[in-house]
Amino acid sequence: MKVKTTRFGELEVNPTDLITFAEGLFGFENLKKYFVVDPGDSTLILWLQSTEDEKVAFPIIEPKIFKPDYIAKLLPADLNGLELDSLQSAKLYSVLTIPGNVTEMSANLKAPIVINSAKKIGKQIVLQDSKLSVKYEMYKELKTYIVNFSSDVFRSTSYDSSITLETGVLKSTKTNTITLEAE
C-alpha cells in the first residue's frame, strides 16, 4: 500500500508492517495505525509515522542508546492488549522532542512506547515511577554514543534485546530492557 507522509513523501508500506495502537497515543487517541520509518541517518532516530494523518510522525529512539540503566517496569495491567507471550518480541522506545535548539532535545522516559513486534501491536504506557521525567535531556549522552561507536556497532546492538523468562517473572538480563513486575 502507498502512504503519503509530509516528511518522507509517498512510501510503499507492506500492510503486515502496520502497527495497531488500539488506544492511540496520548493526545492522538483517534490515530490507531502506524509504521516505523528508519531514515537511515546518523542520528539513530526512527519515526513512528501515522498512516491516517500524513503530518503525524513521532521521532523515537531506543532508550538504551542514551540511558543504559533505564528500566521500564510494567504492571500486569500495562500488558493488557499487547498480547505479549514473552518479552522477546517487545521493543521499547522513547518519544523525542526536538526543539529549534537541538541540543535541548529530550526524551520522554515516563511514558515509553512498547511494541509487540511479533503481533504488531503498540501501546504508550505511563510508568508508575514518579522520578521518571517526560522531558529528560539527553543530547550529550546521544552524542557520546555516536562519537564513541561506529555505525556498525549500532546495528548489531540495536536488535539485541536479550531478555530471559523466569518463573512467574519476566525479567531482562540487561537493565536497559523491560521488566514485568509480578507478585
Partner 1 sequence: MLVLTRKLGESIAIDDNIKIVVVQIKGKQVRLGIKAPKETKIHREEVYQAIQDQNTEAVQASMSDIARLGEELKKK
7 binds partner 1 (CB under 8 A): yes
**Pick from 131, 140, 73, 81: nearest CA to 105:** 140
DSSP state of 91: E
138 binds partner 1 (CB under 8 A): no
One of 1, 75, 153, 165 touching partner 1 (CB under 8 A) = 75
DSSP state of 173: S
Smallest separation, CB 162 to partner 1 (Å): 26
**Pick from 40, 56, 36, 39: nearest CA to 48:** 36
For β-strands 46-50 and 163-165, DSSP reports them as unpaired
Smallest separation, CB 37 to partner 1 (Å): 11
Burial 126-161 (b: 16+ CB within 10 A, else e): ebeeeebeeebebbeebeebbeeeeeeeeeeebeeb
143 binds partner 1 (CB under 8 A): yes
Smallest separation, CB 2 to partner 1 (Å): 20
95 binds partner 1 (CB under 8 A): yes
One of 3, 19, 57, 114 touching partner 1 (CB under 8 A) = 57
110 binds partner 1 (CB under 8 A): yes
45 binds partner 1 (CB under 8 A): yes
One of 17, 23, 38, 98 touching partner 1 (CB under 8 A) = 98
135 binds partner 1 (CB under 8 A): yes
Q: Is the CA virtual torsion 148, 152, 158, 159 positive or negative?
A: negative
Taking the least distance from each CB to partner 1, the nearer of 14 and 102 is 102
Size of the residue set binding partner 1 (CB under 8 A): 41
135 vs 121: CA distance, rounded Å: 25
Q: Are 105 and 66 in contact (CB under 8 A)?
A: no
Interaction site with partner 1 (CB under 8 A): 7, 25-28, 39, 41-43, 45, 55-59, 75-78, 95-100, 102-103, 105, 108, 110-111, 124, 126, 128, 134-135, 142-143, 146-147, 183
